[in-house]
Amino acid sequence: MTGGDPSMPLVTYLHDVLKMGQNIDEHILKALSKCSLKHCVSLWQLLSSLKSESMLRLKMDPFPGYAAEYQEPLTEQNKTELKGFFSQSNAAQWLLEMHEFILLAVGRPHATDRYKPFWSVKEAMQLYMDNKELEVPDYVEENFPEIIQLSQILEAWKYVVTSKQEWMNHE
């Protein structure tokens, strides 16, 4: 995803791949020397998700212009199953992966050619994670609701984020 080995030191990536080392102050290079590419990806995942969550709280659409085929409403059964999954699992990382998938796969032009709206979210995410050479966590394989279709992924992500906030407020 970054064009380099995830364990590559960030300073090496800046020098050798991006050819930027000479343009960066020494004190910044020293701070960056403790980071690798995987840290950048994780930080991007977190910050982009937090931005989308904030937009949702402000009643703004975090996914404007996305294909209507991915914006189907959830049924009450869908909501119940999602709530069950996310309340029983420590699924924060899975929510970040879903958000990344929404931004980088579903948000692309002609996404429906590659990721069919009638597929399950679990099936589509499996393909995406395979392409990233990452394993889908066991708790997701075993417990994520099969009935949630890719056509509902935007509403599913929004529902979980909003519900998570409500669940935390009621505890």
Of 16-20, 46-50, 51-55, 166-170, which gets the smallest average pLDDT?
A: 166-170
Q: What average pLDDT score do residues 102-116 get?
A: 93
CA 14 to chain centre: 25
> Which has the closest alpha carbon to 105: 4, 152, 49, 97?
97
| Whether the predicted pLDDT of 167 surpasses 80 | no
Cβ-based burial of 36 (10 A; exposed 0-12, middle 13-18, buried ≥19): buried
> pTM for the full model?
0.82
Locus of tokens 């050798």: 16
Q: What percent of the chain has pLDDT over 70?
A: 92
Of 2-16, 25-39, 128-142, which gets the smallest average pLDDT?
A: 2-16
CA angle 148, 87, 143 (to 5 degrees): 45
Between 165 and 64, residue with greater pLDDT: 64
Q: Where are the alpha helices (DSSP H) in the chain?
A: 10-12, 26-32, 37-57, 76-88, 92-101, 111-114, 121-131, 138-143, 153-170
Between 141 and 1, residue with greater pLDDT: 141
| Whether the predicted pLDDT of 20 surpasses 80 | no
- The pLDDT of residue 72 is 97
| Whether the predicted pLDDT of 5 surpasses 90 | no
Q: What average pLDDT score do residues 24-42 get?
A: 82
For residue 147, CA distances in Å to 5, 54, 82, 96, 123 come to: 36, 28, 10, 20, 11
- The pLDDT of residue 155 is 97
